[in-house]
Structure 1
Amino acid sequence: MLRSPRGGREMKTRKLLFPVLIMLLALMSCGTMMAQSTSGWEPWGPRVDEIIMPIIKNSDARRIAFERGESIVWSGLTKPTDIDQAKSLGYADMRMTLGFHMFYLCFNMRRGPLDAQPLRQAIAHATDRDNIIRTLFKGYMLPMSSFVPQVSPFYNKTVPFYEFSLKKAAEVLDNAGYKLDATGKNRIDPKTGKPLPDMKIFTPTYEVAPTSAELGKMIADSCQKVGLPVKPEPMDFNVMLDKLDIGEFDMFCLAWGLSKNPTFLHSFFHSSMDVEAGYNKPGIRNPELDKVLDELYYAADLKAAQVASDKAQLILAREMPYVPLYSRPYIDAFNKTQVTGYIDMGGFGAAHYNNPWTLLNIRRVDRFGKAIEGGTIRWSLSEEPKNLNPATSSSAYEQEVLSKVFDSLTVSHPDTLDDMPWMAEKWDIGTWEPEPGKKGTTVTWYVRKGIKWSDGMPFTAEDVKFTIDYLKDNEIPRYLDATMDIAKAELINKYTVKVYFSSVSYWHFYNAGLSFLAKHIWKDVTDWKAFQPWLEPHPTIKGYTKLVGTGPFIMKEYRPGEFVRLVKNPNYWRLKPGK
């Protein structure tokens, strides 16, 4: 049962958002919680020689590590007790940025009983976002009713919502034939005439993510009140990811760190993305939605993209492959007696792996608070980075490592998020005719000269072409949405490559920016799924592995369960000013 956000719900939304926003504003203005100017950032670095990332899964242990000075940052704070504790520490510099983030409950729509829309809608009505945010987060999170966060210019505020109401949840079930049995405690499946089977909500463990685990329990408890046999099941995070990749689940609670572009809707919900280890985790296959998502993906300009994004959000609100729960601000505490130079970035925060500016600008400080170059910092990692293959890695914990090892053709400005030249010194966007009467987009990259891979081999346009060809030819699931419309990549010369798309889209500029596979390493990789570059020895350099990147750091050592050790890349192309 959907209701328009007009009238009563609009008042309810305002009543909820007002204290939330007051809480966030108070947080930003209290003590050290002030927005740091990013005017001091510089596009070169890094300024430290080594980053040791101790793997600390327990949230209390991460707090203790920060308090003892064993980690320069306590990042991704969500628990109110942690936020309050960090605020009380005189040496903690608190950073907060509204984020491109969504925490959600996902349904498996590929199999019963959750392939039935009324069940998903009823669970949406039984999910009390207000109570979750109030109880677990003391109002520090922003409630979500749509599939795009409020910080995004593509957020559709007119999307219908499912208000919390156990009465309405029961009505949805009753009207769809899911009647209570004689005990009044369990619902009967109208398709089978038997009680509904247990439906499990997978979450990370209380040790790794206590709020996520408790949130799953809260939703399960609420569902049981309307006769739905929903049970929480916390589990090892990497085991959970494996199950999600093969569709072996009923429901799960996780978060997405989103991009600034709304094309993530296509990645998450288009039927073409419903493949093993793909992004379409719910397995939604809806022709009406596919048509609108194609309109979004192939939008010629931002206006057309906005219209399609609005339509998609309305359809998703009806189909409910997810229950969007909340969007969190990125809240990080840095030890200002140890480091300086961390940079806030709109939509991502100061410590996020999508923020390259902190990585380049962070420095140690001496006992007088003066910035000093070189040395080692310790930056805790909250989970094991299971897979460091850049073609197949999927979790945020893996990206925490890989983002420090790889660079990109363009980057986003920390204040405006405008696209900036990076490994590509410039680009051209044009059109061509893939066949008579049809237009397609072209993107031409002009790669900077003098860039090297971390093993000293030159990075050229050949590597860009090779990356695109390899990902496309092998149909690698994580990059299907980027490569599916690429017709070819043409090497113009050693430092120029032209990417041809079979269609026109405003977003193809971002799809063309694939450049992370070193041709001299990957040309001999035939089994990309099994390849473990961080474990295989480099063919010519003793003591080095095949995890070769273009970023500011090299992965020097990884001891599972203990730490990841990164050292400054001596071949990094931005080591000194003027590059």
Structure 2
Amino acid sequence: MRSIYTLLTILMLLSIVASFGGLAVAAEEDVRYGPYIDKITMSVIRDYNTRVMAFEAKELDVLGVLPRDLDRIKNNRPDAHIIFTARTTASGSLHFNVELWPVKYPQVRKALAHLWDRDRIIAESPLKGVAIKNPYIVPPTFGKWVNPEADFEKLYPYDPEKAKKLLDEVFDPCPDNPDMWCDPNEGMKPVEIEVLTLPEASSPTYWWIAQYVKNEAEKIGLKIKITPVSSRELDARTSAGTAQAWVIGWVFGRFPTFMYYFWHSREIRPGGWNEWRVRNETLDELLDKFFYAETMDEAMEWCWKAQELLVDIIPWIPTYTAIGITAYSGEIDRDSLVLQYAPPMKEPVGFSWFNINNIRFKDRKFGGVFRSYFTVDITTLNPTVYLWATESDAIWRVYAFGAEPRPEDLYATPRIPVLFESWKAERVTYEGKEVWKITLKLFPDIKWQDGVLASAEDIKYTLLKFGLELKTRRVYDPWMDYMIDIKVVNRTTLEIYAEKMGWAEIYYMAELFFLPKHVMEKLPNPLDDISLLPHPTKPGLTAMIGNGPFALLKREVSYVELVWYPEYKWRHPERTVKFLEVELPEQVEVGKSFTVRTTLVDYLGEHVTNATVKVVLKGPTTVTVPMEHVGNGVYEATIPSLPEGVYDVTIKASMPIMLWHLTNSYTAKLGVGKAPAAEAPTPTGPAPTAPVVESIKIEVPGAAVEVVPPQSPPTLTPPPSVEAPKEFEIEVPSVDTSMSMAAIAVSVVALIVSAGLALTVRR
């Protein structure tokens, strides 16, 4: 499930074509170009203080900062770039499995809600007063999607006495300890709630909140047991339904569609999202109407009604919405950071997906190692089943999406094409039914990191295998249950037909990710951590083969090394093998050989001595001659005598780099003609007949020369003028951006465990 990136109604989508033929921007301004750095290293550093010290020691290039440590970072790293981002999160919430004793009693959840002093939590915790208070199921940064009446502070104001009265409705004082509660429905079993949380070293704020819950609850006789757990154990227990309560946070996309995934009973399934085990038929009906509404206003109406029911169910007690504080090393060029904006808000709402692609160091245009970290143990880097936001930091460097939002405006259309050249959503009649038809078209030159061209078959395989069959969290969407057909039109084009699609699902289609069928279908279990499995056919690569700007080259239990992918679709045009000098005559005489010479350098200006170079001449005949390296990056070849005519000359260079190649070409024109001769008498007699051209055989010592005679005399025409494709224009009604005041650039819903959590929003 990915975020939705703009405000569109279902009516607008009836015939919208988001065509990405080309962006009218200068090459140096194209945000897609990258990466500029050579490598990203990511070590597991669970301890927040260790991360802080590593950044201070200049061993990390980025750090999520707690508000309490902001002055420390400013003092100890005065060179650092400090970035504040308003985010759409539900942070520090107390979550419940509403089917497990004793939190299965609504009175228990409501009693705990009456113990929630958000102002105190924000002021006294490591947040140090720096956060947006959030008393809603749908965080306040969702703007008009928030039902102001579904307010926990109105419904459950801080009131310990009210909390005690609620507990008294279901429990009795324990016979041997009347200050504590026992459950008469369980044979007077003493009441105790286990609260899971990440350790203080990993997540100081969440640990503080867990301690707050314990202190407040035990004042009214409700015993709390705090259990610190690893990220793996937390995931395992919440997924298995054995966790009573836990403190954690979620980061969301643009619209509150998370309500459907989190609390619809259909998601109580293996691998499903509903870890809270909410089963409520009325809520299911409201969520269905919200999800499949035909207009934005209608969706909002049902969203409000669902919130009214959810504040009574209480799957979680909301606390605050975070604003990230991120510090970047001063060695990074500040202007290379790509922030995500969502007008009318002036503050950035996060970092664009293009950010890491564009990051570069001040002292160089290309190269360098960017040192980052994981905040928790790596559970998996499989993009179909991962859970933690910190894992996504690695995953979505290797894999790209069909399209991405524009950094300057999260809501702007058309979105920026990355893998998809175009997409289209329309209502059609198919097999006698009125259905949705989605057409996706890939750029033709998208290549997997093992050299295989990406295809529509890959998209189809991903949707059918990981969506419809395995129903993985990151691929499956409800529309797949209504799919009638899915057709591969050609290598780059896919058509999908579905009877029913949610207004959000339709918009998601342009931002799909997909996996390489030729790799995944060969794995014993495609749900395994593919980063730990070898590529089935390519030594040196793992099964984690993507189509994004970085490739996984090294994977250890607590360490990941990503390198820039030289054959990435949007590799910077300057990051290639370059022709420093070329010696090539413009005109040569018929019957004479000549020499072509070139000097090659790489993108850092170093001479290239290991390239494969050849010169191709196309005209009255076609000749291909390999060029030999003669020293110091100089390559040369002797071209045998050629028939008279005009030739297109192309020098092709391929430079090996890691497991891939950088390629470039140089083109020119060459004329082959007769030498000037003395005037001769005008000949008399019959006109000469044209000679019959036989196959030409040329032998050049030490070089394999390919010569192809023409089948007919060549016709010279001027090159056609080339016009840059215009960006597709669509009419879009004005967007009320207050519907969604802020959003993040994280590609999927994911758990927040990073340290930099919040900063006050300037209004």
Q: In which range does the TM-score fall when normalised by the shorter chain?
A: 0.7 to 0.9
Of the candidates 152, 156, 159, which is equivalent to residue 150 of structure 2?
159
Q: Residues 479-518 of structure 1: CA distance to partner in whole angstroms, max 9, x if unpaired?
A: 4335344343221222111222221431122453433211
> What's the secondary structure of 2:532's corresponding residue?
coil
- Tell me if the contact between 2:107 and 2:170 (Cα under 8 Å) persists in the aligned partners: no
- Tell me if the contact between 1:363 and 1:372 (Cα under 8 Å) persists in the aligned partners: yes
- 1:230 equivalent to 2:224? Answer yes
- Tell me if the contact between 2:445 and 2:569 (Cα under 8 Å) persists in the aligned partners: yes
Aligned counterpart, 2:172: 179
Of the candidates 131, 135, 139, which is equivalent to residue 129 of structure 2?
139
- 1:81 equivalent to 2:77? Answer no
- Tell me if the contact between 1:48 and 1:363 (Cα under 8 Å) persists in the aligned partners: yes
- Within 5 A, what are the aligned runs for 1:160-559? 160-161=151-152, 162-174=156-168, 176-182=169-175, 183-340=177-334, 341-346=336-341, 355-366=352-363, 372-418=365-411, 419-433=415-429, 439-478=434-473, 479-482=475-478, 483-512=480-509, 513-525=511-523, 527-529=525-527, 531-559=528-556
The CA distance in 2 between the partners of 1:301 and 1:50, in whole Å, is: 45
Q: CA deviation at 1:445?
A: 1.0
Aligned counterpart, 2:713: none
- Within 5 A, what are the aligned runs for 1:90-101? 90-101=78-89
Q: CA deviation at 1:55?
A: 2.0
The CA distance in 2 between the partners of 1:242 and 1:506, in whole Å, is: 32
- Larger-gyration structure (1/2): 2
> What's the secondary structure of 1:96's corresponding residue?
strand
Q: Residues 437-494 of structure 1: CA distance to partner in whole angstroms, max 9, x if unpaired?
A: x643322112111011111111122211111111234232414335344343221222
> What's the secondary structure of 1:191's corresponding residue?
helix
Of the candidates 62, 68, 86, which is equivalent to residue 51 of structure 2?
62
- AA paired with 1:241? D
- Tell me if the contact between 2:427 and 2:437 (Cα under 8 Å) persists in the aligned partners: yes
**For the structure 1 residues 41 and 254, does the alpha-carbon distance in structure 2 shift closer, same or farther, using more than 3 Å as the test?**
farther
Q: CA deviation at 1:541?
A: 1.8
- Tell me if the contact between 2:230 and 2:377 (Cα under 8 Å) persists in the aligned partners: no
> What's the secondary structure of 1:444's corresponding residue?
strand
Q: CA deviation at 1:406?
A: 0.5
Q: CA deviation at 1:351?
A: 11
**For the structure 1 residues 56 and 64, does the alpha-carbon distance in structure 2 shift closer, same or farther, using more than 3 Å as the test?**
same
The CA distance in 2 between the partners of 1:113 and 1:407, in whole Å, is: 44
- Tell me if the contact between 1:391 and 1:528 (Cα under 8 Å) persists in the aligned partners: no
**For the structure 1 residues 155 and 576, does the alpha-carbon distance in structure 2 shift closer, same or farther, using more than 3 Å as the test?**
same
Aligned counterpart, 1:7: none
> What's the secondary structure of 2:161's corresponding residue?
helix
Query: More strand per residue: 1 or 2?
Result: 2
The CA distance in 1 between the partners of 2:246 and 2:376, in whole Å, is: 18
- AA paired with 2:444? K
The CA distance in 2 between the partners of 1:490 and 1:110, in whole Å, is: 42
The CA distance in 2 between the partners of 1:211 and 1:466, in whole Å, is: 42
**For the structure 1 residues 150 and 372, does the alpha-carbon distance in structure 2 shift closer, same or farther, using more than 3 Å as the test?**
same
Aligned counterpart, 2:747: none
The CA distance in 2 between the partners of 1:242 and 1:200, in whole Å, is: 15
- AA paired with 2:465? Y
- Tell me if the contact between 1:342 and 1:350 (Cα under 8 Å) persists in the aligned partners: no
Aligned counterpart, 1:19: none
The CA distance in 1 between the partners of 2:349 and 2:359, in whole Å, is: 10
- AA paired with 2:495? K
- Tell me if the contact between 2:182 and 2:191 (Cα under 8 Å) persists in the aligned partners: no
**For the structure 1 residues 259 and 383, does the alpha-carbon distance in structure 2 shift closer, same or farther, using more than 3 Å as the test?**
same
**For the structure 1 residues 432 and 105, does the alpha-carbon distance in structure 2 shift closer, same or farther, using more than 3 Å as the test?**
farther
Q: CA deviation at 1:435?
A: 7.4
**For the structure 1 residues 560 and 551, does the alpha-carbon distance in structure 2 shift closer, same or farther, using more than 3 Å as the test?**
same
**For the structure 1 residues 549 and 400, does the alpha-carbon distance in structure 2 shift closer, same or farther, using more than 3 Å as the test?**
same
The CA distance in 2 between the partners of 1:517 and 1:159, in whole Å, is: 41
- Tell me if the contact between 2:67 and 2:325 (Cα under 8 Å) persists in the aligned partners: no
Percent same amino acid at aligned positions? 26
- Tell me if the contact between 2:79 and 2:329 (Cα under 8 Å) persists in the aligned partners: yes
The CA distance in 1 between the partners of 2:110 and 2:71, in whole Å, is: 36
- AA paired with 1:57? R
Report which stretch shifted further, 182-191 or 90-99. 182-191
**For the structure 1 residues 256 and 392, does the alpha-carbon distance in structure 2 shift closer, same or farther, using more than 3 Å as the test?**
same
Q: CA deviation at 1:67?
A: 1.0
The CA distance in 2 between the partners of 1:435 and 1:170, in whole Å, is: 62
The CA distance in 1 between the partners of 2:452 and 2:391, in whole Å, is: 25
The CA distance in 2 between the partners of 1:456 and 1:155, in whole Å, is: 47
> What's the secondary structure of 1:214's corresponding residue?
helix
Q: Residues 279-309 of structure 1: CA distance to partner in whole angstroms, max 9, x if unpaired?
A: 1111101111111111121122211221121
Of the candidates 115, 121, 128, which is equivalent to residue 110 of structure 2?
121
Report which stretch shifted further, 288-297 or 303-312. 303-312
The CA distance in 1 between the partners of 2:247 and 2:430, in whole Å, is: 43
- Tell me if the contact between 2:397 and 2:549 (Cα under 8 Å) persists in the aligned partners: yes
Of the candidates 548, 564, 570, which is equivalent to residue 560 of structure 2?
564
Gaps of 5+ in 2: 1-27, 574-723, 726-763
**For the structure 1 residues 157 and 413, does the alpha-carbon distance in structure 2 shift closer, same or farther, using more than 3 Å as the test?**
farther
> What's the secondary structure of 1:152's corresponding residue?
helix
**For the structure 1 residues 212 and 57, does the alpha-carbon distance in structure 2 shift closer, same or farther, using more than 3 Å as the test?**
same
The CA distance in 2 between the partners of 1:322 and 1:164, in whole Å, is: 16
Gaps of 5+ in 1: 1-38
- 1:111 equivalent to 2:100? Answer yes
**For the structure 1 residues 494 and 197, does the alpha-carbon distance in structure 2 shift closer, same or farther, using more than 3 Å as the test?**
same
The CA distance in 1 between the partners of 2:123 and 2:557, in whole Å, is: 37
- Tell me if the contact between 1:95 and 1:344 (Cα under 8 Å) persists in the aligned partners: no
Q: CA deviation at 1:350?
A: 8.0
The CA distance in 2 between the partners of 1:415 and 1:308, in whole Å, is: 31
The CA distance in 1 between the partners of 2:410 and 2:485, in whole Å, is: 29
**For the structure 1 residues 477 and 42, does the alpha-carbon distance in structure 2 shift closer, same or farther, using more than 3 Å as the test?**
closer
The CA distance in 2 between the partners of 1:327 and 1:498, in whole Å, is: 40
The CA distance in 2 between the partners of 1:41 and 1:140, in whole Å, is: 35
